[in-house]
Structure 1
Amino acid sequence: MLSSIIGAVVVLLHAAGVLAAMHAVMNTRTPQGAFAWALGLVLLPYVTLVPYLYLGRSRFHGYVDLHRLRREQMQAMADIQLESALSTPDTCTRYAEIAHMLRTRFHAGQKLRLLVNGEAAFDAMLAAIGEAKHCVLVQFFIIHDDTLGRRLQQVLLERARAKVEICVLYDGIGSHALPHQYVDTLRDAGIAVHPFATQRRSNRFQLNFRNHRKIVVIDGTRGFVGGLNVGDEYLGLKPPLAPWRDTHLQIEGPAVADLQRSFAEDWHWVTGALPPLLSPTPNEGHAHTLIAATGPADRQETCSLFFVAAIHAARRRLWITTPYFVPDQAVMSALRLAVFRGVDVRVLIPSRPDHRTVFLATGLYAHDAVRAGIRIFRYQPGFLHQKVMLIDDDTASVGSMNLDNRSFRLNFEIGALNVDRTFAMQVEAMLREDFTHAHEVTEAEYLGAPYLRRLAMHVARLFDPVL
């Protein structure tokens, strides 16, 4: 009797695995991902079926339709309201395909401030929120109820008492540990706060399509974007990853309106309403800034294409820092071609893991990159989480985008691409300092590793579609 029941369960699991494999073949975004899922689901449904329920879904039509409609409406509003008084320089035309793809543009006259590491970034953000007069928009992938999280909570509560309108958006999975009490305290003070999800109805099986963006906008005049979330670990207060290396950016100028627009699209999906949208300050700086908001609701794989286009624009130097180096074929090919053009291509990655599987896959891709002439460096003092790219002598981007499949195809991301020699010099100085605390990876790192570790690297790479 027991053996019959076990046999029936096995047959049902394999039948469910075959059905799920058919779904994967029809819906997974890449052939490699479809093959990996289908093979696992057919041969090992006992192992892969449950993960596929959480990670395999690749479509969310309701969000896509509304996202595209709202983007078109808001872009039309921006075209009317935000015409720049300054002409776009020729140096920005190298990135024309990015602007065209994202249906956005460079804004002239931005005033930029580079914020190195968590203390500087959160001091600036919390001070700016504390000075808000009209409205505050806050969006993070992760908000923790710890010392930093409570600092944010207190400054928001103080501004709410001053009748400032506040909207807070956090990712439902990234902030899964955020207590209800933390959220209720904000709501009781009149602050609008919501979790982001691509389905308005709760779906415990939906782990893909996370909102990885980090946006703060104060009174429509000051905006912040970068790699930092709200938690004590981002201040370097939680070993073994401490000290935490990260970078954020403060923007003042018309480009802040595009940060507002990105926030408004996500807010409208969650709430059905628009947040307050205020006009940005006049042009007072010298930088040209393009806000690149990418995500799986776009018609193209915009994040991957953003990196490909930026890499192709490099003629002398391309320095990239990323915590996860799991590039797709298009990005890896673009990096190889940059080497052939004589570009100084360097990639700075961590020497400590926060996600073991991704770290192992990163090691194998680092080995492939070194063999292709790409210089790879491992940052030594602590965990490197910054997402920065320096192109030639005049362009630098700061944002939330990693070089991995989740950023390329599964997450909503945002970054600022800035063309300005002065700002690029500041980023160069910052990265040169980082490189002094790194050691260069050679082929010996992989070749000298124990066989089982090398095997683990290759196995980890099989999970590229979900890393």
Structure 2
Amino acid sequence: MLWIVGALLLFIIQIAFVIFFEYQRPNKAMVWLIVLYIFPVIGFLLYLFVAKEYNRTPALSKKEIGHWNRLKAELMDRCRQRALTNLRGETIHQDDNLHALLGNIPVAPITACNETTVFAEGESAFEAMLGSIAASEHHIHVEFYILRDDRLGARFEQLLIRKAQEGVRVRLLYDGIGSRRLGKAYLKRLRDAGVETGCFFPLLASFFNRRLNYRNHRKIVVVDGKIGFFGGLNIGDEYLGEDPKFGYWRDTHFSIKGDAVLWLQYTFLTDWHLVTGQFIADPVYYPIQESRGKELVQIVKSGPDETILELIFSLVVSAKQRIFIETPYFILDPGVLLALKTAILRGVDVRIIIPGVPDKNLVYSATLSYVQELLRAGVRFFSYQKGFIHAKVIISDNLAFSGSANMDIRSLSNQFEINALFYDGEVVERLVQDFHRDLGVSEEILQSNFEKRSRFQKLKSVYARLLSPLF
């Protein structure tokens, strides 16, 4: 009898612990309480190791934070001075409230004098990256969530080794979980040649530091501080369409010149500092940009300590004509879900493209539960049929938002991401054209057909959505 009382007391303590730390996130708290109910002890241990709220501050001293704040202030002043003479007010006033929000994002300002190239698939993007790396003279900074030791990975490896041997400073960052299958031999060959490497939250250390749930999902290449690449592509043969399961791989990636490159560089070097402890602020890494482009671009880095939920919510609620979304994963925050329903009531054309072939079945089942709810509200969904769509794009009237972040809770709250806001002009129009091209190889998901799914499929979606705050 005594052990029953003890077990019950222990269970109550576990419940109280979760409620105390998750009361500000009721959806997440509810899921963890369900996990605790089903797996009383194992569930609590899982919560301790996975659900810890991210806190970056202890990793940085006050002196280090001061260094980064001063550098950021200097870069912001430089970019704003250049932007003042180039901002075209009529192109960014989609909504006065939205403009106020975008202009006051603390991470980075709206930058001017940019030239952007959009890539819709891997082959052309990787050739451009490799070409820029081959032409480098001073430094190469590379950061990816997934880095594989396959044919594409070997091309990057050989080129980075060659440039390091030529005297170019080469730094490589990879995520400990995303690149968990990367062999030690690959990294050793790079290090032996003089390439500096860093692992963002190594798998084992992340487990014991209770940071297993936080991943660096960014994809960044910066060459000589003058040209940058970012978007949805990782380094692996599947991103060239060579995985037989998915076939053609549709993605969105960018190369950019201009002041926006300074913020790709800043993001990489803050990540590098977090991983290695090295503070790099030499002006040679932040050169005066030579680009004379006319594009306005705002680089937005995000993570568990600086989410982009408010930004995406604002893009949705400010739209007057169209909201086009492409995403491989579609698991929404309640606020964004309500904003999309409200957009339909305002008469906004809302269309969303999701994969026809999933790469993660549980996530896809959760996605379908949101599809069902939004179909009833009037949102139009399309299932991509040509291969696998990995592009992450939001188009809101004359603004476009794209980069590494998926339209799911993990990307918007738990992962380190890098995106860009594009203001009007040719880049937005190109992304709109790509969206319509993707519509041409997609099948519309009709509510009448969707409701005919089997009872098992519907039930699976219900439980997947219930667990969705955890993945």
TM norm structure 1: 0.91
Corresponding position: 1:180 with 2:153: no
Give the match for residue 397 of structure 1: 401
Report the RMSD for the aligned CA atoms in angstroms.
2.5
Distance 1:343 1:138, change over 3 A: same
Taking the aligned partners of 2:124 and 2:87, their CA distance within structure 1 comes to: 31
Corresponding position: 1:449 with 2:453: yes
Corresponding position: 1:382 with 2:387: yes
Corresponding position: 1:291 with 2:283: no
Q: Structure 2 counterpart of 1:334, which letter?
A: A
Q: Structure 2 counterpart of 1:232, which letter?
A: D
Residue 15 of structure 1, CA deviation: 6.5
Taking the aligned partners of 1:101 and 1:79, their CA distance within structure 2 comes to: 11
Distance 1:199 1:182, change over 3 A: closer
Give the match for residue 75 of structure 1: 72
Residue 407 of structure 1, CA deviation: 1.0
Residue 12 of structure 1, CA deviation: 8.3
Distance 1:11 1:192, change over 3 A: farther
Residue 62 of structure 1, CA deviation: 3.7
For the residue of structure 2 that corresponds to 1:101, the secondary structure is coil
For the residue of structure 1 that corresponds to 2:52, the secondary structure is coil
Distance 1:182 1:39, change over 3 A: same
Among candidates 10, 20, 24, match of residue 18 of structure 2? 24
| Contact 1:364 1:446 survives alignment (8 Å) | no
For the residue of structure 1 that corresponds to 2:82, the secondary structure is coil
Q: Structure 2 counterpart of 1:165, which letter?
A: R
Residue 445 of structure 1, CA deviation: 4.1
For the residue of structure 2 that corresponds to 1:240, the secondary structure is coil
For the residue of structure 1 that corresponds to 2:137, the secondary structure is coil
Taking the aligned partners of 2:13 and 2:188, their CA distance within structure 1 comes to: 42
Taking the aligned partners of 2:262 and 2:152, their CA distance within structure 1 comes to: 27
Distance 1:174 1:199, change over 3 A: closer
Taking the aligned partners of 1:95 and 1:460, their CA distance within structure 2 comes to: 37
Taking the aligned partners of 1:198 and 1:148, their CA distance within structure 2 comes to: 23
Taking the aligned partners of 2:73 and 2:165, their CA distance within structure 1 comes to: 35
Residue 447 of structure 1, CA deviation: 1.5
| Contact 2:206 2:212 survives alignment (8 Å) | no
Distance 1:34 1:237, change over 3 A: same
Give the match for residue 111 of structure 2: 107
Q: How does 1:357-376 map to 2 (within 5 A)?
A: 357-376=362-381
Give the match for residue 197 of structure 1: 201
| Contact 1:21 1:39 survives alignment (8 Å) | no
Distance 1:65 1:165, change over 3 A: closer
For the residue of structure 2 that corresponds to 1:129, the secondary structure is helix
**Structure 2 unaligned residues grouped into runs of 5+:** none
Which stretch has the larger CA shift, 369-378 or 15-24? 15-24
Give the match for residue 322 of structure 1: 327
Residue 50 of structure 1, CA deviation: 4.9
Distance 1:229 1:25, change over 3 A: same
Give the match for residue 149 of structure 1: 153
Give the match for residue 38 of structure 1: 33
Distance 1:80 1:106, change over 3 A: closer
For the residue of structure 1 that corresponds to 2:278, the secondary structure is coil
**CA shift digits 1:119-176 (9 cap, x unpaired):** 1111111111111111111111110111111111111111111111111111111111
Residue 42 of structure 1, CA deviation: 3.7
Taking the aligned partners of 1:452 and 1:69, their CA distance within structure 2 comes to: 55
Give the match for residue 139 of structure 1: 143
| Contact 1:24 1:56 survives alignment (8 Å) | no
Among candidates 81, 84, 93, match of residue 82 of structure 2? 84
Distance 1:127 1:336, change over 3 A: same
Taking the aligned partners of 2:320 and 2:437, their CA distance within structure 1 comes to: 23
Give the match for residue 167 of structure 2: 163
Give the match for residue 278 of structure 1: 286
Distance 1:163 1:358, change over 3 A: same
Corresponding position: 1:263 with 2:268: yes
Which stretch has the larger CA shift, 440-449 or 192-201? 192-201
Taking the aligned partners of 2:205 and 2:219, their CA distance within structure 1 comes to: 24
Corresponding position: 1:59 with 2:32: no
Residue 243 of structure 1, CA deviation: 1.3
Residue 288 of structure 1, CA deviation: 0.2
**Structure 1 unaligned residues grouped into runs of 5+:** none
Question: How many equivalent pairs are there?
Answer: 457
Corresponding position: 1:308 with 2:307: no
Taking the aligned partners of 1:318 and 1:246, their CA distance within structure 2 comes to: 19
Taking the aligned partners of 1:236 and 1:434, their CA distance within structure 2 comes to: 16
| Contact 1:320 1:390 survives alignment (8 Å) | yes
For the residue of structure 1 that corresponds to 2:410, the secondary structure is helix
Distance 1:185 1:160, change over 3 A: same
Taking the aligned partners of 1:23 and 1:92, their CA distance within structure 2 comes to: 46
Residue 88 of structure 1, CA deviation: 1.9
Give the match for residue 236 of structure 1: 241
